[in-house]
Amino acid sequence: MNQKIKAVLGFLVSGAVLTAIDQWTKSLAVAGLKGKEPFVIWKDVFELLYSENRGAAFGVLQGKHGFFFLVAACVFVAALYVTWKLPNEKKFVPLRICVTLITAGAAGNLIDRVAQGYVVDFLYFILIDFPIFNVADCYVTVATAVLLILLMKVYSDEDLAVLWQKRKES
């Protein structure tokens, strides 16, 4: 099987598994937390608290579903492009993982928006009164932070030039 096709299939399967994990945790939150008092993990520090977020991160852009669909579509197209263009070399594995995590997070929250009109959030750091979030948000946030570090400190311009080259594929 062609290495490019294997890479895309790996991306799709990994992304589907990560998205399924996100959806499973959200279903557990709905079943165990909706309409109930928060489940305290560590008093005054961290708890599980059911919330319905009709916006984006930190509740901004409430009700702007068309915008979220457009952003998710762009993420999916960009992720497929990067997955296809990256050489199958060990040094690009962290980049592939970041792209997969970001895409899985976008997919997990998009599924919620399409199915319910809101995203289920349930992780709450009460100590710092951080906005309530979910597993998909963790994927996106952590992968984006790691991606930025990789782009600034690990990958050179020459490494990333493969994304813009026309016919040179490994």
Count the Cβ atoms, other than its own, within 10 Å of residue 73: 12
From 22, 129, 137, 159, the catalytic residue: 137
C-alpha span between 161 and 164 (Å, rounded) = 5
- Is 159 designated active site? no
From 22, 112, 121, 159, the catalytic residue: 121
| Helices and strands of the chain, counted as H and E runs | 5, 3
- Is 22 designated active site? no
CA 107 to chain centre: 7
Rounded alpha-carbon distances, angstroms, from residue 151 to 15, 91, 119, 145, 160 = 22, 12, 30, 10, 9
C-alpha span between 105 and 89 (Å, rounded) = 25
Q: Which two tokens stand for residue 162?
A: 């493969």
C-alpha span between 37 and 49 (Å, rounded) = 7
Active-site residues: which are they? Answer: 121, 137
